[in-house]
């Protein structure tokens, strides 16, 4: 039986079996990162961490099929390390893994050191939310119905971060850049900090209403 997060169990539009992310892909990771634990959910930065060239990213084991309509995952900051250069987001499989999410074409990221959001550029970050650090939990969600993405911090929604999300089959991604940085992901096997179930009900009900009108 394919894994299905709780907020998608009442998804009214598609009942076909789908593969969703369940762990980090150790074969799709920069060498400066080490995946820790039997469940392969925790990632530790083990590189030199001296400059931007030492950044490292990793992708999940499955992409996010757009037919789910809404997708969400959370990342807990176990240790912000020396500088907290942590990027959380998503991107296409063709993106290189020696930059943080948001710095590569067709990748999107929210960064902990300055709270900026990045989309396909390492030089054009925009103010978005507060910085985040050790013990914070950051959520990342994609609404494929209206082609937007949003983030949460410690259970509070920070609002729309990106729009015109036009491609499908993005992968959850995280990037680390300085020594001792460590994160742990929750793809939905345990309860989220943010109440994504209520959020999903609102989204799905609105889409269903719109379809009935059409």
Average pLDDT over residues 37-52: 94
Rounded CA-CA distance 178/55 in Å is 8
Average pLDDT over residues 177-204: 96
Is residue 214 very low, low, confident or very high in pLDDT (cuts 50, 70, 90)?
A: low
pTM for this predicted structure:
0.95
For 33, the enclosing helix (H) or strand (E) is strand 33-36
**Tell me, what's the pLDDT at 26?**
97
Token output for 41: 């959910």
Question: First vs last Cα of the chain: how many Å apart?
Answer: 34
Is residue 206 very low, low, confident or very high in pLDDT (cuts 50, 70, 90)?
A: confident
Q: What domains does the chain contain, in order, with CATH numbers? A: 29-213 (2.60.120.920)
Is residue 11 very low, low, confident or very high in pLDDT (cuts 50, 70, 90)?
A: confident
Average pLDDT over residues 11-24: 80
Radius of gyration of the chain, Cα coordinates, nearest whole angstrom = 16
pLDDT, tens digit, 9 for 90 and up, residues 73-119: 999 999 999 999 999 999 999 999 999 999 999 999 999 999 999 99
Rounded CA-CA distance 85/114 in Å is 9
Q: 3-state DSSP call for residue 212?
A: helix
pLDDT exceeds cutoff 80 at 213: no
């Amino acid at each position: 039986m394919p894994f299905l997060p709780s907020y998608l169990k009442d998804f009214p539009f598609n009942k076909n079996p789908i593969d969703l992310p369940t762990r980090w892909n150790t074969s799709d990771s920069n060498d400066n990162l080490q995946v820790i634990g039997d469940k392969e959910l925790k990632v530790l930065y083990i590189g030199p961490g001296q400059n931007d060239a030492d950044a490292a990213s990793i992708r999940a084991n499955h992409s996010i099929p757009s037919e789910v309509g809404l997708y969400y995952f959370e990342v807990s900051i176990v240790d912000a390390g020396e500088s907290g250069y942590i990027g959380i987001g998503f991107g296409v499989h063709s993106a290189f893994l020696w930059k943080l999410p948001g710095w590569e074409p067709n990748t999107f990221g929210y960064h902990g050191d300055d709270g900026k959001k990045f989309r396909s550029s390492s030089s054009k970050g925009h103010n978005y939310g507060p910085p985040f650090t050790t013990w914070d939990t950051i959520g990342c969600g994609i609404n494929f119905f209206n082609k937007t993405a949003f983030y949460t911090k410690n259970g509070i929604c920070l609002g729309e971060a990106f729009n015109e999300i036009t491609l499908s089959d993005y992968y959850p991604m995280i990037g680390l850049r300085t020594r001792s940085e460590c994160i742990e992901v929750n793809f939905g096997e345990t309860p989220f900090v943010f109440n994504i179930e209520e959020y999903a009900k609102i989204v799905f009900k609105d889409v269903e209403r719109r379809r009935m009108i059409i």
